[in-house]
Chains A and B, each alone.
Chain A
């Protein structure tokens, strides 16, 4: 079961979601979501397909602002500021890393992929860029596999390597929070294993919010789990508790569906 459980009384809140509603045009997809996300922990978002997990995750780094007609209500408080009111999206997004379901390597070398965010942030010193690229690749457990071919195209990596590359790219800019949307659903079991190990290691450095369809994965990796259904947060709590003694009947049915 999950590693390093702590009771919420001892936790530091890093993101505080209050009464969050979200609309794609006129369709409301998130309904009055309120929850705290804790620093240095892995928080899993689970729930049936279409319940709004991805939508929720994308509100944190304001991905929805890229498309017209989307609307938020409520608050997501981070360091005393409402992220939903933040004007400087470029700054906001560089503090929250995001990894998608399918790997998204940029069509450039492995090195340049990792350096991309660093250069965006204004880093020019070659030595320092090289050091941080190396560190990020080591943090993402990819260094040994790509050390010899940093100048090669990132497109030549395997799917699992690409996904770790994308994680390394996000880590390079030292975000406070890492958002993972089903990061292993396009990968084989071995690659999945590697990413899972990585997630456990990474929470020393960064708070992680992770959407997953795989409840074993949620149970194994996360400290906290949120169960969503039709845009509502049904139940949220320590992962052990949510999986073994769910308070809501709906959670129980969903969770039991998987334990058989």
Chain B
């Protein structure tokens, strides 16, 4: 066999190996998604959004209102907490702190936080926000999610702000703008679509979390909006229902899985669209 056809054979062989593994990976993903969608949509009904939990031995199916509302509250609060802090800290690193020694420290610290498993953050918040108050609470759940979001938002904010050309800032200064105005009216505007994309990805990242909530907001069988009490979330409820022996609860778990998957998928698609809008539009740099 001559070397040319030998190389061609080798190349084809590798291509085959790569393709097989890619197909295996994608097949599993597709299988999970399709499964969730088929079972989830089958279990979906208007009641899911209007009714709360009914005990398993009752004839009614019940609904997930308590878990959906709880999930939205916990996530919204986490967003309110984690995103402004992440943006401000990222701004500090990209602007005021860019020559300071504290920057190295914060960067290392936040990169470490990025790689901490979320369950560890859950136990940490358990120690600082659950034990001292003697109760699980929605606030503790939000805090855990906010801590997970923080380094993601910080990193993306810093990176996006660093992409803004130095001359653009200088042009602002040259007109006599004070630093904070240069940041707000020039740098943020230039970096906006990138930062927004990062923020949305961070939301998507925490929207599907279960582990950190198990130790913090825990669970609640009843509808509540009291932030100082344990609060149900979709993910924890799915976890409980899926493992229960009751058929109506299992079917609700499918519906919940569908809702959360669709939500995260939606968030990811939105951020993809934002990215392509950002890079696809020449006029906008």
List chain A positions with a Cβ less than 8 A from chain B.
61, 63, 66, 68, 90-94, 96-98, 100-102, 104, 106-108, 116-117, 120-121, 153, 155-156, 166, 169-170, 173
> What is the minimal beta-carbon distance from B62 to any residue of chain A, in angstroms?
51
What are 24 sample pairs from A and B whose C-beta atoms fall under 8 A apart?
A61-B174, A63-B170, A66-B170, A90-B176, A93-B175, A94-B176, A97-B175, A98-B171, A100-B171, A104-B167, A104-B171, A106-B168, A106-B172, A106-B185, A106-B186, A107-B186, A107-B189, A107-B285, A117-B176, A120-B177, A153-B283, A153-B284, A155-B284, A170-B174
Could you tell me the distance between the alpha carbons of A61 and B174 in the complex, rounded to whole angstroms? 7
A-B residue pairs, 5 tightest by C-beta: A94-B176, A104-B171, A98-B174, A117-B175, A93-B176
> What is the minimal beta-carbon distance from A19 to any residue of chain B, in angstroms?
25
Number of interface residues of B (CB under 8 A): 22
Q: Which of B4-52 contact A (CB under 8 A)?
A: none
> What is the minimal beta-carbon distance from A166 to any residue of chain B, in angstroms?
7
Q: Which of B68-99 contact A (CB under 8 A)?
A: 99
**Nearest neighbor of B281 in chain A, beta-carbon distance:** A155
Are B171's CB and A107's CB within 8 A?
Answer: no
Contacts of B178 in A (CB 8 A): 90
> What is the minimal beta-carbon distance from B70 to any residue of chain A, in angstroms?
39
> What is the minimal beta-carbon distance from A63 to any residue of chain B, in angstroms?
6
Residue interface mask B97-117, A partner, CB < 8 A = 1: 001000000000000000000
Q: Does B181 contact A (CB under 8 A)?
A: yes
Q: Does B173 contact A (CB under 8 A)?
A: yes
CB-CB under 8 A for A155 and B285, given A90-B176, A106-B186, A169-B175: yes
> What is the minimal beta-carbon distance from B285 to any residue of chain A, in angstroms?
6
> What is the minimal beta-carbon distance from B277 to any residue of chain A, in angstroms?
14
**Nearest neighbor of B188 in chain A, beta-carbon distance:** A107
Could you tell me the distance between the alpha carbons of A56 and B190 in the complex, rounded to whole angstroms? 29
**Nearest neighbor of A58 in chain B, beta-carbon distance:** B170
Could you tell me the distance between the alpha carbons of A155 and B190 in the complex, rounded to whole angstroms? 11
Are A63's CB and B189's CB within 8 A?
Answer: no
Q: Which residue in A97, A107, A121 is a CB contact (below 8 Å) of B190?
A: A107
Are A116's CB and B174's CB within 8 A?
Answer: no
> What is the minimal beta-carbon distance from A99 to any residue of chain B, in angstroms?
9
> What is the minimal beta-carbon distance from B25 to any residue of chain A, in angstroms?
40
Could you tell me the distance between the alpha carbons of A153 and B284 in the complex, rounded to whole angstroms? 9
Could you tell me the distance between the alpha carbons of A138 and B80 in the complex, rounded to whole angstroms? 46
